[in-house]
Each structure stands twice: as structure tokens, then as C-alpha cells.
Chain A
């Protein structure tokens, strides 16, 4: 039973939501949700977790062929082949992209339980993000294989920034994702619109091209996009270039804003989820 015996007090219009204490109380449910999502994702698939690797791998192949060989885009660092550069970016980008989309659909996907059981509604959202993080770690193994194949020694800063960059990215994805998850409860347009929007976002984010290809005077605006701070930061750190700290800081700020807006909107609408989902 959920830890200590506690009396329950329900009062109209006074629902306690987003209580950290309550989320902590339900931490096991979070793990079960994440565990279930991971199990279900790879059940009855021939490749299983191989999909987490194959997706960025194939995308890298396609991007290398068209953007690097045909369009002539370079990695921005002579020592780093475009394929390694692109794989690193795509690996993070995929995590961001799939987090946003699975988080945004997590509440609607759980509508059966939302209308039948009480639990903090943030739990399925967090579990959905956890799923993308697990995929990220599968995909990252290939990155280190690529580094070894091309004989590029990773910089220690790169290893140190590896997780914080992921943290920044996931926090941003969560902020945006839970906003859309809450919106999705009421307007199912989100389901159709969001994948399209994130697809476009890929091209205005320095994933398949280096941030340095953006003119100097506009570059700082690119960092308003949290993904830019995470990806260009990890690339600079991993390949031994100078990190644009101002840019990374700006990305952190916009992540905080995204999280704040997402949580506020979620909190505002949470109490009606079961009524309108």
C-alpha cells in the first residue's frame, strides 16, 4: 500500500496538484509505467531494441549522402567526419523528438486508466520520457563504436557533458511535451500537428549542420532553441571545440521557461482530465 496511512480530504475546487511529495509517494508507479512501456515497445518485434539503434543509424546514412556528399555540408571540424558528427546530433535529436511526441500522447494513451484510477497525472508523462531516454542509451553505444572506427579520441569534456546535455534536452522536451499532453486531452489536433511541427523543427535546429554555419550575429538567437544548446554543446565538448557558454546558458533559460509554462498549464487543466479525456 502506498506508504503511510494518510487520511484523504477532498474539497471542491481545492485539488492539490503537482505536489512533489505525492509524486514521490507514487514513484513505484512511475517505474512500473516506464517498465511497462519499455516491455510493450519491444514485444513482438524481431529487432527489439535494435530499432533504437537502427533509426539514427539509417538517418545518418541518408543525411550523409544528401547533405554531406550532395549538398556539401561539413561537420565544421576538419578532424571529424560528417557521419560521426551527424550521428551524435541525430542521437540527441531523436531523443528530443520522440520524448515530445510520446509525452504529448501519453495521457491520451492512458485514458483508460485515467478515468478509472487516481494517480498523479504527471506519472505517464514522466514514464514516456524515460522510455526515450532508454532508447537514447541504446543508440549511444553505436556512437562510441563510430568514434572507435574513425579513430577519434573522445574528449573528457565530452564525456562529462554527455549526461547534462541529455538532461537539458529531456527537461525541454518534458516542458513542451506536458503542455501538449494537457492540450491533447482537449484538442486531439495535437496528435496530428505535433509530429509535423517537430519535423520542421529539425531543419531550424543545428542537427544536420553545425551551429557555426549560422551567421555570427544571429547565432545567439538559435540558442533560444534548447536543443541547440544541448547538441552544439555536446559536439564542441566531444570534439574539442570551444563551447559557446552564453549560448548554452540561454538554452537553459529557455528550457526553464518551457518547463514552467508546461507545468503551469498542466496544473491548471489537470483536475478536468478525467471529465473530458
Chain B
């Protein structure tokens, strides 16, 4: 077995159960509540665990996986699917109910940005305390102190108590400390969901460079984009069970498929108050069926129906495509067709927008449709109409580039390559 493929983390049959007490409302009781149990059982007994109102809830059930050296392993799933519990077990914060885990090397976890930061302490003091908290020695912090400060870009505020920091500055400092921890295994939970885009990128780069140096990373995030970007392996959890372990693209695909937003009504009731309004917005596949998911590289179209009560000068009907994270991907409008703004006469309209040569990479997108006149409030806007592009494991791109798609556009280009010598 060569070293690269040797598992550094082996998780076997890990389960975690919690007892839910139906009567008790708070997570901690008062002695009055438990006095009965206390009298019945000696103080050292496992008080009240088998009382009749208890229900066993499996936060995790029979989880098995291995992570190799240098892997960036993603864990995805909805809230309450057991992701955080898994990380807490790996971090030794909570004890599993069954199972065994072996981890080779030094482990550090970052389940929260700025764990142990104290508002009264200055930035400098918090670097030391937080560094020690997450597992650095005093000497190590001292040696890396300047790097940490430089990475965080907060020199100015170093001797100010962190309670006066803005949340952005606070996060920078906290992440800077964590980023300089160089363990063999790094466990990260969702921490990148903070800070501005530029700083997030810096953090991501830092994580990826760690992995290139042979660091093994376990990563939990709700952002499928980031998971796809950084992870080379992933696990999809659903209700405490591992539904899929393997390629990141498929794990995130499963997540998106199972967690599509509830079917959105795309047929709208007429409201007499609006002078211009959408009546219906449909996404159609190649076979002219109304759908919410399309195959990769399938032709598709959007059908808009709208009604104009009072004539309207200078209008634009537009369709925008937004990524799952809300980034604009594409926009088209009727001015593409008319070349200038049109007067809308009263009546009912139907518009068919053909996306024959416009394809998106697999993932979830949202449509935003609007009818507006320049300089005025939009007449009508319909947002969050979901559109999903399915994964295709036969796609040639799934073989290369770590099985990742770049960006949003799937269209293929022509390559003319000749040998000239």
C-alpha cells in the first residue's frame, strides 16, 4: 500500500443516539423535575435514561467511510442530517453511541470561527488564547504571530478589545489564526460562509494549498459551489444515514435533487390591481413538457404568459438566470428580439424563449422574470423559479479536471488542431 492511498481516517459503524424526553422542554432540567428519578436512583446511576417517555433518536446511524491522505472530504446534507454530529464525534467533542474511529496524525477542528474569543481581550491576546484553544503551542503561535496578523490584515486593531471589532474584522482575525494551524487532519464546519468574497477566496486557497501539501481535510458546508470547488470526495447524509459516498459531483447532485425547493406555483392568479402581470411561467424540455429539471445539454425553452390591462409605453420583459448562490448567470429580454422597447397594448400575451444553444452545467438555478418600464417600479416580478440541470456521468468532462465543472456555461466550442512540423 503506498502512502498516498493509506487511509488516515477510518470510520466504522459510527452511530449516535439521543434520548428525547417528550415532557421536558429545556435541554437541562431542574432538580425539581428530576427529583423523582434522583430518589429512585443513586446519584451515580444514569439518571432517568430509561424513563417511559423517552424516545431514541438516531442522529447518525451506521456510518462507514475512509479518507486518504491529501483528500478533501466533503460532508453535505440538510440541516439536521447529522453533519455536525459527525464532525463533533470526529473532533472528540461528543462520544459516539457505537463504532470505532481511527485517525492517524494530529487532528485539529474548527467548528466555529473564533472559538473561545473573548470580547474583553484585545486582538493580540485573542490570537494567543484562540491559538492555544485550537491546539497550537505558545512557541508555535509566537513563531507564526506575524504571519497571522499579516493574513488577517488587521494590524491597526491589534491592541483593541475585539468587542469593538466589526463582525468582518472579527472573522478575519479568527480565520487567520485557524488558517495557520498546520495539523495533519483539519476538520472544518461551514466557517467559510462568512467574510467578504475576497477573503473567502483567500481562505479557500489556503485550505487547498494545505491539501496539496498532504493535509487531509474534512469539510462541511451548505454551499454546493464551494464543496464542488474544494472537495475531491464527498458523503451525502440524509437523516443520519450515508446515502452516497464517492464523487463530489454525485454527492452534491443527490443533495440538490433531494433538496430542491418545494414545487413552486408558476401559475399566477389575476389581481385586478396590477396593470401588467404574469399569468404563467413554465420551463419546457425538448419534448415540450413542463419540467423543473433538464438533462445536461438538452434544448429548452421558457414560456411566459402575461396580461396587460392598461396600455404601457416603453416596456421590457426580461428573464434572468441566477445561480444557486444568487450570482447572475445570464439575462435575456424582449429587446433582444424587438431591438428597442415596445409599447404594450392591452391584451394577453404569450412569449416563448428558446434556449437551443444555451446550456448550463449541472446544478440548481433560479429564474427571475420581470416586466418593467425604465425609471419606474417594475410592473411585475416573479422570482425563485427553480431549474435544475441533471448530472450525466457519460459526459466527457466527468473524466477530467477532478470531475468538476468550471463556471456555469456548458456549451462546447470547436477546436481545430493540426499538427504542423
Which residues of A are in contact with B by a Cβ distance under 8 Å?
Answer: 1-3, 5-13, 15, 28-29, 32, 35-36, 39-40, 43-44, 112-119, 185-189, 264-265, 268, 271-272, 274-277
Contact (Cβ within 8 A) A8 B100: no
Decide if B65 is an interface residue (CB 8 Å cutoff). Answer: no
- Known A-B contacts: A10-B95, A10-B103, A116-B112. Give 16 more (CB < 8 A): A3-B137, A8-B103, A8-B107, A9-B102, A10-B102, A11-B100, A29-B132, A32-B133, A35-B129, A36-B129, A112-B116, A118-B93, A185-B28, A187-B31, A276-B27, A277-B28
Contact (Cβ within 8 A) A12 B99: yes
Contact (Cβ within 8 A) B140 A117: no
Tell me which of B120-128, B208-216, B360-368 binds A. B120-128
Contact (Cβ within 8 A) A274 B121: no
Contact (Cβ within 8 A) B28 A276: yes
Q: CA–CA, A245 to B140, complex, Å? A: 49
Contact (Cβ within 8 A) B182 A275: no
A-contacting residues, B145-181, CB 8 Å? 161, 181
Contact (Cβ within 8 A) B109 A117: yes
Measured CB to CB, the nearest residue on chain B to A8 is: B103
Contact (Cβ within 8 A) B95 A12: yes
Contact (Cβ within 8 A) B43 A5: no
Contact (Cβ within 8 A) A116 B111: yes
Contact (Cβ within 8 A) B120 A117: no
Q: CA–CA, A134 to B10, complex, Å? A: 45
Partner of B106, one of A1, A9, A112, A264: A1
A-contacting residues, B96-119, CB 8 Å? 96-109, 111-112, 115-116, 118
- Which residues on B sit within 8 Å (CB–CB) of A117? 91, 93, 109, 111, 115-116, 133-134
Which residues of B are in contact with A by a Cβ distance under 8 Å?
Answer: 18, 27-32, 34, 43-44, 88-109, 111-112, 115-116, 118, 120-121, 125, 128-129, 132-138, 140, 161, 181-184
With A8-B103, A11-B100, A268-B44 in contact, is A1–B93 under 8 Å at CB? no
Partner of B29, one of A6, A9, A186: A186
Partner of B98, one of A12, A113, A268, A272: A12
Q: Looking at A8, A35, A268, which has the most chain B CB atoms within 10 Å of its CB?
A: A8
Distance in Å from the Cβ of B201 to the closest Cβ of chain A? 25
- Which residues on A sit within 8 Å (CB–CB) of B129? 32, 35-36
Contact (Cβ within 8 A) B96 A115: no
Partner of A10, one of B100, B120, B140: B100
Contact (Cβ within 8 A) B92 A118: yes
With A117-B116, A185-B28 in contact, is A271–B95 under 8 Å at CB? yes
With A28-B137, A32-B129 in contact, is A10–B89 under 8 Å at CB? yes
- Which residues on B sit within 8 Å (CB–CB) of A275? 18, 94
Partner of B118, one of A2, A36, A118, A271: A36
Distance in Å from the Cβ of B43 to the closest Cβ of chain A? 7
With A1-B183, A5-B105, A8-B107 in contact, is A115–B29 under 8 Å at CB? no
- Which residues on A sit within 8 Å (CB–CB) of B111? 116-117
Contact (Cβ within 8 A) B101 A10: yes
- Which residues on B sit within 8 Å (CB–CB) of A13? 95
Distance in Å from the Cβ of B44 to the closest Cβ of chain A? 6
With A189-B31, A275-B94 in contact, is A7–B140 under 8 Å at CB? no
Contact (Cβ within 8 A) A7 B105: yes
Partner of A7, one of B91, B104, B138: B104
Distance in Å from the Cβ of B111 to the closest Cβ of chain A? 5
Of all A-B residue pairs in the complex, the 5 with the closest CB atoms, nearest first, are: A118-B92, A10-B101, A32-B132, A8-B103, A116-B115
Contact (Cβ within 8 A) A28 B104: no
Q: CA–CA, A35 to B101, complex, Å? A: 34
Contact (Cβ within 8 A) B96 A274: no
- Which residues on A sit within 8 Å (CB–CB) of B138? 28, 32
With A40-B121, A43-B120, A186-B28 in contact, is A32–B128 under 8 Å at CB? yes
- Which residues on A sit within 8 Å (CB–CB) of B108? 1
With A5-B184, A186-B29 in contact, is A10–B135 under 8 Å at CB? no
Query: What are 11 A-B contacts with C-beta separation under 8 Å?
Result: A6-B106, A7-B104, A40-B120, A43-B120, A112-B115, A116-B93, A117-B93, A118-B91, A187-B30, A188-B28, A189-B32
Contact (Cβ within 8 A) A265 B121: no
Partner of B115, one of A35, A39, A113, A277: A113
- Which residues on B sit within 8 Å (CB–CB) of A43? 120-121, 161
- Which residues on A sit within 8 Å (CB–CB) of B29? 186-187
Distance in Å from the Cβ of A179 to the closest Cβ of chain B? 10
Contact (Cβ within 8 A) B121 A36: yes
Contact (Cβ within 8 A) A12 B93: no
- Which residues on B sit within 8 Å (CB–CB) of A189? 30-32
Partner of B137, one of A2, A40, A116, A265: A2
Measured CB to CB, the nearest residue on chain B to A118 is: B92
- Which residues on A sit within 8 Å (CB–CB) of B136? 1
Partner of A39, one of B43, B88, B125, B181: B125
Contact (Cβ within 8 A) A12 B97: yes
Q: CA–CA, A6 to B104, complex, Å? A: 7
With A39-B125, A117-B91, A188-B28 in contact, is A12–B96 under 8 Å at CB? yes
Partner of A1, one of B102, B121, B182: B182
Distance in Å from the Cβ of B7 to the closest Cβ of chain A? 12
Q: CA–CA, A275 to B27, complex, Å? A: 9
- Which residues on B sit within 8 Å (CB–CB) of A115? 88, 93
